[in-house]
Amino acid sequence: MRLELPCPSLVLLVGASASGKSTFARRYFAHTEIVSSDACRALVSDDETDQNATVDAFEVLNTIVEKRLQRHLTTVIDATNVQPEARRPLLALARKYHMLPIALVFDLPSAVLDARNVARAEGTGRPPIPSRVVAHQRRDLHRGLKTLRREGFSHVFVFESAEEVGACELVRVPLRPDRRGELGPFDLIGDVHGCFDELHTLLGRLGYAVDRAGAFEWRVTPPPGRRVVFLGDLVDRGPNVVDVLSLAMQMVRDGQALCVPGNHDLKLARKLRGRDVKVAHGLAESLAQLDTTPEAFREDVATFFDEMTAHLVLDEGRLVVAHAGLKRSMHGRASAAVRDFALYGDTTGEIDAFGLPVRLDWAAAYTGRATVVYGHTPVPRAEWVNGTIDLDTGCVFGGALTALRYPERELVSVPAAQVYYTPIRPLAPEAAEVPPVAPAGPPPPDAPGLDLATISGKSHLETRLLGRIRVGEGEAAAALETVSRFSVDPRWLIYVPPTMSPAETSARPNFLEHPDEAFAYYREQGVTEVVCQKKHMGSRAIVVVLRRPEVAITRFGFARAMPGVVYSRTGRPFFNDAALGEGFLDRLRGAVERAGLFDALETDWLCLDAEMLPWSLKARSLIEQQYAPTGAAGLAGLTAAVEALRHAPAAAALLARFEGRLARVRAYDQAWRPYCWPVEGLSDVRCAPFHLLAAEGRTFFDRPHAWHMEQLETLAGGGVGLLEVTPNLTVDLGDAAACAAAVEWWQAHTDAGGEGMVVKPQAFVSNGPRGLLQPAIKVRGREYLRIIYGPEYDAPEHLERLRSRAVKAKRRLAAAEFALGVEALSLFIEHAPLARVHACAFGVLALESEALDPRL
Amino acid sequence: MLLTLTLHSDDPETPATELGHLLHKHPDKCQRFDLAFGAVHVFYPETTATRCTAALLLDVDPVGLARSRSGAPENRPLWPYVNDRPYVASSFLSVAISRVLGTALGGRCERRPELAERTLDLEATVAALSAGPAPDWVRGLFEPLGYTVTLTPPVEGVVGLTLRGRVRLSALLAHLYVLVPVVDHEKHYWVDDREVDKLLRHGAGWLATHPERAQIVRRYLKHQRGLCRDALAALDATLVDDTNAPDAPETEPEADDGAASEQRAEAPLRLDDRRRETVLSALRACGARTVVDLGCGEGKLLRALLADAAFTEIVGVDVAPTVLRRASERLKLERMSEERRARLTLLQGSAVYRDDRLRGRDAVVCVEVIEHIDPDRLDAFQDAVLGHLQARTVILTTPNAEYNVLFREAGLRHTDHRFEWTRAEFEAWAAAAARAAGYGVRFEPVGEADPQLGPPTQMAIFTREVAHAP
């Protein structure tokens, strides 16, 4: 006998002692899949027959089962399970985690059982389990046998003899929604509702040639490799349900399409099966149109929908489709609740609390990795919410029929030719179709709050550039304070820039840093071309500038319109004065507009990485409390010392030394001044962008720095007076003369009071033989380093002591932060759930709390 | 840093060059002394019969100094490397005076012992002192001691100080020994009770009657209350006639951080205690047995909750790990009885993130928390606290901005307050938040209410309306 066991599932072995349950379990299941009551008894009491330990043993058993079901793992309960009370908690767990509960019943004759019990007891020194106990167990078993289905088991298999058990061949089959092997590409199509003309046009746009071949027959040629996925609600309300159905059914039959059912489809199927169904919400139109079709066609329609599973998991688990969407904890699982959710959406939430439409309940809280595509709730436009998208753009109500090309994530829409059906309540779910619900457990999250659990504690974050990155508990704790007390709203925090390592320490006299070491690093890693960019000395800022304030609502998920955001590298609002910030964004938006970048990049927002000038804009208190007093004190103290020494012939030896000290402090006192000027208003603020990080639909990490420089030069042309161009130099590392020229360029720039330069490989993301390269290396000027290492750092006796620096640790950190930043922004672009974007951005802030030499 | 000492003399019997004997340092030499922080050089820029100047030049090693330091002030990570310590007169100078000029400081002079006992026309110049934005207060330290004080015009809070007067050399050095660190206000070493001894030794004979003695003691001992009390008591004991003692201040303000200024602003009302009592009675009134104190700080409310056995489970939550550590120290968690300990949980958490660990308690209190949250993120607070935790009762307190005019200090009550609301503003926000999350809300005053301006603190009590679900 072949026994097909849907997996993953919760399998209860049901049978009296010695009916062969354990042997059976061992034959077909891994030992970790089997949770045995005897083993749990032994775990808590050292004696697997100790009946006094039963209560504790089952507590352990239930805990193990719960953890496994949570992880969606097949779990076999090896216990007698003959009483309904024993099965009930396990069934409840199966329901809670949407696992199929399956009963395998071992109903063997009592003679066999008694004989086995006697044989088992031999040699153990214990008496065999008495016949009356076994008889008791069998009586319990028989009492419940007929009602197992009613208790909630989805499958019940019964063995009536030892021979049957022996002859059984158990084969695992995947659950019906599990179609992970279907890799696409797909064209997912929202609610059609009998709008055949629009469907035909849309399929044409998507590259499907569709011609009529007969009354219910079609000739369909899909683009090579592509398949359609219908998201349900093919029927009702619209003008041509018959053609829609025959086309969809044929495409599914021929393997050209997949389909999940919608609530309307199933209601129609029930009606066609002769069930008593209230004819409303457009069902009458379907019935009238189907009336003229042959009986056999209607039979086919009913069967078509009957056999369908309510949701599908596709593309290695990366794509989930269901008519009304599906929350993460239900993906790939099977239960009545999962089915209801897939068909009707989230109906248990307290939807009135924030006055949001139903679909937002689960989508707003969605944090899963899989993209979820669905329909059901008509919306004016298909929009991404946390990696989910509703494609029902209300075609039958005069909206549009929309498809999503996957994995390209392009939307293709065909407007409705007319209003076919007037909605009673436009763009709202139909309350009448919501099935009665029995809420159980805590209410689901229903507003766009972020869960602390997604960021706190030790974590490993997956990145595309560097694999798993570990964030320690202490670092996360420090960052939680930062992000709670000082950060901009997490919805803005789509990128946090990495720290930057300096060049390795130079061996040249008088220099701590020199371009040669930066060039050498990249040359050794196989990079042939680098871009040297002037390092502006100001404060790092990430700028998100919106073309229209409403984009804050439509793309960033805020409740109100805003012009964008400017935040520091630690995620803090850049401008303390909100009006100044808004004024800045307004001018920047104008510059982007004039430069034509919004149009050229087909976007309504941009994310820039920039240096904001002057330094004194953010660093005023630092200058007032630290930099200026240090200079004033040094000048006053050392001038007096030199003066005194001049008059003391005995101290002549000291004079030169103190004159040297005074000269260095003088140089220090000049070093920071070029970076400061008074800021009376916006006209005194400069912004020097050096990376164009992202626009709608794409990041620009795949573009070379030359491209970034070019775009930003265009941008600067639109914002004279506000935007600064970053002077830069492309250097062929194989060309010694070019390298020498770059060193001279650096020398001239730093001699003139510049901070230094940043050396970057031409490719934004570069890999060397040992993996990801530093995205950038800074080479700071001699004078500038006074404000980092101290006014007199370059005195020979000091410089030698300062040469040993922990550059390696800094580089490890820079690489990890870079990978996390890129991940955050890429996830945002991919419409991933906010929680995942935030976890990566938070990760950068956490890594930044690691204690490293602040001078690097 | 440089200290010069000049002896002026028009007495041929006592030429100014006698300064060499007094200091026990030969005027024709340049001498070097190595101390832990660097070298000290002593030399004479001027040696005439009428004027003789000795220079004490401290050559502080900035790199060594940075290496000996641990940590940096918040938001100033580069402070250990870029700072004025090598250049200004500070406690390093006091150390140099005692180690290099110890004989003179002790009032001894082998060759001319009588000179050390005499008052002389002495002048001292400190080249650079960090004296703060308004350095004139420095005069008040030295003028009562009989000096003519000259200050150079301040540059970024740095001044040069010249003192001239008829004093004994040992007294001048003792004045500098004590008062230079008082001006500078940053000691390079840890202050403990040995500092009290040093202060009393070098302050003998002048400090007890100095009109600024309270300030001097406070700044010299870095505001350590216990040490200050000891020192002031000891100074009083040295006065023959107690009735002449200047009044010692009743209380010593704490270190000047934001919390202290908030405390100072609200101090006369003991508002903190009133707030706690009011919140406690509100909690008792609503019958809460399990309570989350979100934003528990150092745990004053937690302590009060623990003291009442009616509260069976108490969860203290704060976002700052350092604050939580301090709470656990102050509550003496380690030594708490097992029963009491079992009732308390301390967690790091945040008021702007949903936290499942905090659900299912009867009441959530946020005492003086929302005003620390950026207005932009109040939605997240509302979602996390009212929307997500779904406690039966939620209690919030926040300052009443209208009342602020009654405080001595203007502006917000705490440097970290992002806003302070009037009663109307708070009530409007709370009413909308309550509506959205299915709560009813009422307001109660905390503290003595002014008839026009209302109470100093306002409190909102949210009560969850009966759930619609069966």
Per-residue confidence of chain B (470 residues) as pLDDT tens digits? 899 999 999 988 889 999 999 999 998 999 999 998 899 999 999 999 999 999 999 999 888 888 877 667 777 888 888 889 899 999 999 999 999 999 999 998 888 888 889 999 999 999 999 988 888 999 999 999 999 999 999 999 899 999 999 999 999 999 999 999 999 877 677 778 888 999 999 999 899 999 999 999 999 988 888 888 888 988 888 875 544 444 444 444 444 444 555 555 555 457 888 899 999 999 999 999 999 999 999 999 999 999 998 999 999 999 999 999 999 988 988 888 888 888 999 999 999 999 999 999 999 999 999 999 998 899 999 999 999 998 999 999 999 999 888 876 667 788 888 999 999 999 999 999 999 899 999 999 998 889 999 999 999 999 998 654 43
Q: B469 to chain A: which residues are within 8 Å by CB?
A: 350, 439, 443
Per-residue CA distances from A200 to A189, A195, A205, A208 (Å)? 12, 9, 9, 9
**Interface ipTM above 0.95:** no
Q: A627 to chain B: which residues are within 8 Å by CB?
A: 82
CB contact under 8 A, A640 and B128: yes
Q: How far apart are CA A230 and CA A468, in angstroms?
A: 36
Q: A644 to chain B: which residues are within 8 Å by CB?
A: 2, 4, 43, 45, 53, 55, 57
> What is A178-424's CATH topology?
Purple Acid Phosphatase; chain A, domain 2 (3.60.21)
Q: What is the pLDDT of residue A58?
A: 93
Q: What is the pLDDT of residue A72?
A: 94
A622: phi then psi, degrees, rounded to nearest 5: -60, -40
The DSSP secondary structure of A766-779, one letter per residue, reads -EETTEEPPS-EEE
Give me the amino acid identity at A459: S
Longest dimension (CA), chain A: 122
Among candidates A629, A646, A788 on the partner chain, residue whose Cβ is nearest the Cβ of B78:
A788
Q: How far apart are CA A272 and CA A290, in angstroms?
A: 10
Q: How many residues make up chain B in this entry?
A: 470
Q: Rounded to a whole number, what is the distance in Å from the CA of A375 to chain B's nearest CA?
A: 27
Q: Is the bond preceding B135 in cis, omega lying within 30 degrees of 0?
A: no
Q: Which of A148, A134, A138, A60 is nearest to A103 (CA)?
A: A148
CB contact under 8 A, B81 and A480: no
Tell me, rounded to whole angstroms, the distance of Cα A682 from its chain centroid. Answer: 37
**E-state strands within B2-78:** 2-8, 31-35, 38-47, 51-60
* Residue A239: strand, helix, or coil: coil
CB contact under 8 A, A442 and B155: no
Asked whether the predicted pLDDT for residue A721 surpasses 60, the reply is: yes
CB contact under 8 A, B127 and A559: no
Among candidates B155, B351, B357 on the partner chain, residue whose Cβ is nearest the Cβ of A632:
B155
Among the listed ranges A326-335, A355-364, B171-180, which one has the minimum average pLDDT value?
A: A355-364
Q: Answer for the pair A790, B79: CB distance below 8 angstroms, yes or no.
A: no
Q: B319 to chain A: which residues are within 8 Å by CB?
A: 480-481, 484-485
Q: Which of A99, A98, A81 is nearest to A6 (CA)?
A: A99
Tell me, rounded to whole angstroms, the distance of Cα B172 from its chain centroid. Answer: 29
Q: Rounded to a whole number, what is the distance in Å from the CA of A578 to chain B's nearest CA?
A: 11
The DSSP secondary structure of A156-194, one letter per residue, reads EEEE-SHHHHHH-EEEEEE-TTEETT----EEEE---TT
CB contact under 8 A, B63 and A798: yes
- Copy the structure tokens of residue A134: 């076994």
Question: Number of residue pairs across A and B with CB atoms under 8 Å?
Answer: 196
For residue B102, how many other CB atoms are within 10 A of its CB? Answer: 12
CB contact under 8 A, B353 and A450: yes
Tell me, rounded to whole angstroms, the distance of Cα A221 from its chain centroid. Answer: 35
CB contact under 8 A, A634 and B84: yes
Check the CA dihedral A519-A522-A526-A532 and report its sign.
negative
* Residue B446: strand, helix, or coil: strand
- Copy the structure tokens of residue A305: 């929908």
Q: What is the pLDDT of residue B187?
A: 66
Q: How far apart are CA B382 and CA A491, in angstroms?
A: 16
Which residues pair with residue B162 across a beta bridge? Answer: B125, B150
Q: Which of A138, A123, A94, A67 is nearest to A6 (CA)?
A: A94
Burial class (CB in 10 A: 0-12, 13-18, 19+), B319: buried
Q: What is the pLDDT of residue A347?
A: 60
Which residues pair with residue A686 across a beta bridge? Answer: A613
A695: phi then psi, degrees, rounded to nearest 5: -140, 175
Among candidates A489, A639, A644 on the partner chain, residue whose Cβ is nearest the Cβ of B377:
A489
Q: A552 to chain B: which residues are within 8 Å by CB?
A: none
Radius of gyration of chain A from Cα atoms? 35
Q: What is the pLDDT of residue B240?
A: 58
Check the CA dihedral B283-B286-B287-B289 and report its sign.
negative
Q: How far apart are CA B168 and CA B120, in angstroms?
A: 6
Element spanning A371, H or E = strand A371-374
Confidence of residue A448 (pLDDT cuts 50, 70, 90): low
Q: Answer for the pair A74, A29: CB distance below 8 angstroms, yes or no.
A: yes
Question: Nearest residue on chain B to A787, judged by CA atoms?
Answer: B82
Predicted model pTM: 0.77
The verdict on domain B2-189 having CATH code 2.40.40.20 is: no
Among candidates B87, B373, B384 on the partner chain, residue whose Cβ is nearest the Cβ of A637:
B87
CB contact under 8 A, A788 and B87: no
- Range A2-174: architecture per CATH: 3-Layer(aba) Sandwich (3.40)
Q: What is the pLDDT of residue A337?
A: 87
- Copy the structure tokens of residue A384: 């991404």
* Residue A281: strand, helix, or coil: coil
Q: B354 to chain A: which residues are within 8 Å by CB?
A: 445, 449-452
Mean pLDDT in residue range A518-540? 95
Residue with tokens 């683009």: A223
Question: Nearest residue on chain A to B157, judged by CA atoms?
Answer: A629
Tell me, rounded to whole angstroms, the distance of Cα A606 from its chain centroid. Answer: 21
Q: Which of A787, A796, A671, A619 is nearest to B83 (CA)?
A: A787
Q: What is the pLDDT of residue A175?
A: 94
Question: Nearest residue on chain B to A792, judged by CA atoms?
Answer: B62
Among candidates A452, A474, A626 on the partner chain, residue whose Cβ is nearest the Cβ of B354:
A452
Q: Where are the domains of chain A?
A: 2-174, 178-424, 616-671
pLDDT digits (tens, 9 = 90+) for A276-302: 888 888 898 999 999 889 999 999 999
Residue with tokens 């040993």: A804
Contacts of A359 (CB under 8 A, 6+ apart): A324, A325, A345, A346, A376, A377, A379, A390, A429
Question: Nearest residue on chain A to B434, judged by CA atoms?
Answer: A353
Q: How far apart are CA A775 and CA A530, in angstroms?
A: 11
- Copy the structure tokens of residue B212: 């600024």
Q: How far apart are CA B88 and CA B159, in angstroms?
A: 9
| Calculated CA dihedral for residues A318, A321, A322, A323, nearest 10 degrees | 150
Q: What is the pLDDT of residue A679?
A: 87
Contacts of A367 (CB under 8 A, 6+ apart): A328, A386, A451, A454, A833, A834, A835, A836
* Residues of chain A above pLDDT 90, percent: 71
Among candidates B4, B319, B384 on the partner chain, residue whose Cβ is nearest the Cβ of A481:
B319
- Copy the structure tokens of residue A653: 């030896």
Among candidates B72, B78, B350 on the partner chain, residue whose Cβ is nearest the Cβ of A480:
B350
Q: How far apart are CA A485 and CA A738, in angstroms?
A: 48
Element spanning A412, H or E = strand A410-415
Among candidates B87, B372, B436 on the partner chain, residue whose Cβ is nearest the Cβ of A633:
B87
Among candidates B81, B128, B356 on the partner chain, residue whose Cβ is nearest the Cβ of A790:
B81
Asked whether the predicted pLDDT for residue A438 surpasses 90, the reply is: no
Most confident among A10-14, A624-628, A804-808, B192-196 (mean pLDDT):
A10-14
Angle (CA) B232 B236 B242, round 5°: 150
* Residue B34: strand, helix, or coil: strand
Q: How far apart are CA B385 and CA B373, in angstroms?
A: 13
**E-state strands within A472-615:** 501-502, 529-535, 539-546, 564-568, 605-613
Contacts of B190 (CB under 8 A, 6+ apart): none
Which residues pair with residue A612 across a beta bridge? Answer: A539, A687
Testing the interface with A: which of B43, B318, B415 to mutate, by most A Cβ within 10 A? B43
Mean pLDDT in residue range A604-610? 97
* Residue B456: strand, helix, or coil: coil
Mean pLDDT in residue range A42-69? 92
Confidence of residue A436 (pLDDT cuts 50, 70, 90): very low
Q: Which of A140, A306, A305 is nearest to A230 (CA)?
A: A305
Testing the interface with B: which of A481, A794, A849 to mutate, by most B Cβ within 10 A? A481
CB contact under 8 A, A637 and B437: no
Q: Which of A128, A106, A129 is nearest to A20 (CA)?
A: A106
* Residue B30: strand, helix, or coil: coil
Contacts of A433 (CB under 8 A, 6+ apart): A263, A267, A281, A344
Q: Answer for the pair A617, A539: CB distance below 8 angstroms, yes or no.
A: yes
Buried b / exposed e over A663-702, threshold 16 CB at 10 Å, is ebbbebbebbebbbeebeebeebbbbbbbbbbbeeebbbe
Give me the amino acid identity at B111: R
- Copy the structure tokens of residue B413: 């009550």
The segment(s) of chain B belonging to CATH 3.40.50.150 are: 258-464
Q: A651 to chain B: which residues are within 8 Å by CB?
A: 30, 41, 43
CB contact under 8 A, A650 and B28: yes
Q: B30 to chain A: which residues are within 8 Å by CB?
A: 648, 650-651, 653-654
- Copy the structure tokens of residue A590: 């104008």
The segment(s) of chain B belonging to CATH 3.30.1610.20 are: 2-189
Q: Rounded to a whole number, what is the distance in Å from the CA of B27 to chain A's nearest CA?
A: 9
B399: phi then psi, degrees, rounded to nearest 5: -60, 150
**Which class is domain B258-464?**
alpha beta
pLDDT digits (tens, 9 = 90+) for A234-265: 999 999 999 999 999 999 999 999 999 999 99
